């Protein structure tokens, strides 16, 4: 089945033509990316995404399999029942209120679905990546922010308001007094996201342009950089250990910029997990993601296919 998939973020928008086979394989046939014109307002951002998708749909020529549905993964909180964005950060000014499903179904005359990009990423990783063949996965993305997605039996947990998975906004003692991007204090994201790690390093008297530089310094043996990465890794691991106790996923899958750093961050995450996870869940595999940068596109396509199939069964 061929589907159109979009991944709409604050900095770039990607549209792809995705083929999902009955055997459960996914293949990106074509894709096109452009910068998201976030500063030009929500209407321009939406039109840009529609144009990208149109260019793919129109550029295929005759004789191709028809496109059956559209799946849109978007930054921000998405009400999956209505396909409408309800909240977004300053990265996409004016984005809340955007009716993604109406816009895409009207433009293409096809069924459309929309979901949050991290939920799409989780579904893509669960179906086609490290979660393939598993009953449940907890995807954890540690980068500019800290988010995640629990996928059980092939369906992301969206929550009643589409908010489920905001793992970075759990409290952790190491973050006491540290301001979070949500405006509260004491949340993991404020301390242990990429920008959080950079800020902690500066507070401790270090000087570095960004978290990547801190990772390089740790790799070459600098004590302060190593200590900061370890502290944030342990805090992240403690939250993961608590989540394992609460929801017992079959596997935990790590993705995002920090997961690329490796040591000493990764070892510290494992240490934090050991600190908090109960014996019964302490052996839960923690795996690197491997559905790649296209995971959200694949997840959006899979969600569109699921909804289409469900509709046909009714
Ligand atoms: Zn927060």
Q: How remote is the CA of residue 166 from the centroid of ligand 1, in Å?
A: 9
Residue 32 CA to ligand 1 centre (angstroms): 33
Cα 117 to ligand 1 centroid, rounded to whole Å: 18
Cα 15 to averaged position of ligand 1 atoms, centre (Å): 30
Residue 172 shares a structural domain with residue 89: no
pLDDT tens sequence across 37-93 = 999 999 999 999 999 999 999 887 666 789 999 999 999 999 999 999 999 988 899
Is residue 283 located within the same domain as residue 303? Answer: no
The one-character DSSP state at 174 is G
With respect to residue 221, please indicate whether it lies within any of the assigned structural domains: yes
- Regarding whether 152 and 80 lie in a shared domain, the answer is no
pLDDT at 63: 65
**Residues 175, 206: one domain?**
yes
Tens-place pLDDT, residues 137-184? 999 999 999 999 999 999 999 999 999 999 999 999 999 999 999 999
Q: Are residues 76 and 141 in the same domain?
A: no
**Dihedrals phi, psi of 186, to nearest 5 degrees:** 90, 0
- pLDDT for position 90: 86
Percent of the chain with pLDDT over 90: 90
- Ligand 1 center–CA 218 separation, angstroms: 27
Contact 65, 118 (CB under 8 A): no
Please give the distance, rounded to the nearest whole angstrom, from the Cα atom of residue 115 to the centre of ligand 1. Answer: 21
The pTM (predicted TM-score) of the whole model is: 0.94
pLDDT(34) > 80: yes
Domain, as residue range, for 271: 134-288
In a shared domain, residues 298 and 223: no
pLDDT, averaged across the chain = 95
Length in residues, the chain: 314
Q: What is the CA(79)–ligand 1 centre distance, in A?
A: 20
The DSSP bridge pattern shows strands 112-116 and 67-74 to be parallel
Distance 175 CA to ligand 1 centre (A): 10
CB 293 within 8 Å of CB 260: no
In this predicted model, what pLDDT tens digit does every residue of 268-298 receive, in sequence order? 999 999 999 999 999 999 999 988 789 999 9
CATH of residue 248: 3.30.420.40
- Residue 157 and residue 149: Cα distance in Å, rounded? 7
| Helical ranges in the chain per DSSP H | 42-58, 100-108, 117-128, 188-192, 194-203, 211-219, 223-247, 257-261, 265-276, 295-313
User: Chain centroid to CA 248: how far?
Assistant: 20
- CA 180 to ligand 1 center in whole angstroms: 5
Whether residues 19 and 104 fall in one domain? yes
- Same domain for 148 and 78: no
Is 118 in contact with 125 (CB distance < 8 Å)?
Answer: no
Token pair recorded at residue 282: 């302490």
Q: Are strands 251-255 and 84-87 parallel, antiparallel or unpaired?
A: unpaired
What's the 182 CA to ligand 1 centre distance in angstroms? 4
Given a cut of 80, whether residue 17 has pLDDT beyond it is yes
- For residues 17 and 67, the answer to whether their CB atoms sit within 8 Å is yes
Characterise 211 by phi-psi region: left (phi > 0), alpha (psi -120 to 50), beta (else). alpha
Given a cut of 60, is residue 314 above it in pLDDT? no
Alpha carbons 162 and 113: distance in angstroms, whole number? 14
Claim to verify: residue 232 and residue 175 sit in the same structural domain: yes
87 in the same domain as 147: no
Distance 106 CA to ligand 1 centre (A): 36
How far, in Å, from the CA of 314 to the mean position of ligand 1? 40
155 three-state secondary structure: strand
Both 113 and 157 in one domain: the answer is no
Please indicate, yes or no, if residue 128 is contained in any of the structural domains: no
Please report, rounded to a whole number, the percentage of residues in the chain having pLDDT higher than 70.
98
User: Residue 247: which residues within 8 A CB-CB, separation 6 or more?
Assistant: 138, 150
Residues 61, 28: one domain?
yes
Mean pLDDT of 194-201: 97
* Sign of the torsion angle spanned by Cα atoms 103, 126, 88, 162: positive
CA of 162 relative to ligand 1 center, distance in Å: 16
CB atoms closer than 10 angstroms to residue 301:
35
In the chain, how many domains are there?
2
Q: How far is the CA of 288 from the centre of ligand 1 (A)?
A: 25
CA of 89 from ligand 1 middle (Å) equals: 12
């Amino acid at each position: 089945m061929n589907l159109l998939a979009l991944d709409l973020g604050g900095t770039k928008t990607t549209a792809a033509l995705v083929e999902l086979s009955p055997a459960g394989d996914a293949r990106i046939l074509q894709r096109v990316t452009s910068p998201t014109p976030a500063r030009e307002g929500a209407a321009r951002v939406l039109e840009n995404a529609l144009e990208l998708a149109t260019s793919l749909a129109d550029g295929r020529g005759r004789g191709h399999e028809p496109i059956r549905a559209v799946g849109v993964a978007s930054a921000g909180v998405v009400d999956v029942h209505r396909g409408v964005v309800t909240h977004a950060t300053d990265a996409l000014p004016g984005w809340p209120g955007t009716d993604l499903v109406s816009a895409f179904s009207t433009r293409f005359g096809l069924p459309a679905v929309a979901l949050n990009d991290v939920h799409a990423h989780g579904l893509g990783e669960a179906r086609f990546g490290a979660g393939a063949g598993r009953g449940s996965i907890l995807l954890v993305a540690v980068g500019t922010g800290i988010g995640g997605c629990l996928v059980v039996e092939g369906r992301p947990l969206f929550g009643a308001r589409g908010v489920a998975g905001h793992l970075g906004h759990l409290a952790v003692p190491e973050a006491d007094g540290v301001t979070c991007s949500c405006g509260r204090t004491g949340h993991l994201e404020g301390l242990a996201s990429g920008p959080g790690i950079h800020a902690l390093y500066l507070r401790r008297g270090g000087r570095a342009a960004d978290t990547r530089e801190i990772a390089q310094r740790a790799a070459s043996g600098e004590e302060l950089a190593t200590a900061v990465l370890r502290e944030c890794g342990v805090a992240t691991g403690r939250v993961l250990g608590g989540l394992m106790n609460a929801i017992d996923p079959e596997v935990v899958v790590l993705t995002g910029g920090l997961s690329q750093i490796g040591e000493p961050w990764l070892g510290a995450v494992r240490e934090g997990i050991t600190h908090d996870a109960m014996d019964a869940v302490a052996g839960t595999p923690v795996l690197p993601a491997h559905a790649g940068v296209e995971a959200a596109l694949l997840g959006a396509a899979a969600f569109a296919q699921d909804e289409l199939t469900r509709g046909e069964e009714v």
